[in-house]
Amino acid sequence: MIENDDEAAQADAALARSKQRTTLYVSPALHRRFEKYVRAKRGRTNTSVVLEAVAAKRTETPEIISKAQVSAAAGNDLFPQDPRSVRYLGSGPVQIQIAPTYAQLQVLDRLTTEYGFEARATWIAPVLNAFLPGKKEVIPE
Per residue in 17-64, pLDDT (tens digit) is: 688 899 999 999 999 999 999 999 999 999 999 999 999 999 999 999
Taking 70 as the threshold, does the pLDDT of residue 15 lie above it?
Answer: no
Residue 41 in any domain: the answer is yes
Residue 48 in any domain: the answer is yes
Residue 124 in any domain: the answer is yes
H or E, element range at 13: helix 2-17
Taking 80 as the threshold, does the pLDDT of residue 79 lie above it?
Answer: no
Pairing of strands 22-26, 94-98: antiparallel
> What pLDDT score was predicted for residue 33?
98
* Structural domain count of the chain: 1
> What pLDDT score was predicted for residue 70?
84
Residue 9 in any domain: the answer is no
Residue 120 in any domain: the answer is yes
Taking 60 as the threshold, does the pLDDT of residue 13 lie above it?
Answer: yes
Residue 10 in any domain: the answer is no
Q: Which residues of 99-128 are buried (b: 16+ CB within 10 A; e: fewer)?
A: ebbeebbeebeebbeeeebeebbbbbbbbb
> What pLDDT score was predicted for residue 26?
98
Query: Do residues 126 and 88 lie in contact, with contact meaning Cβ atoms separated by under 8 Å?
Result: yes
Residue 12 in any domain: the answer is no
Residue 80 in any domain: the answer is no
Range of the domain at 35: 18-70+88-141
> What pLDDT score was predicted for residue 87?
87
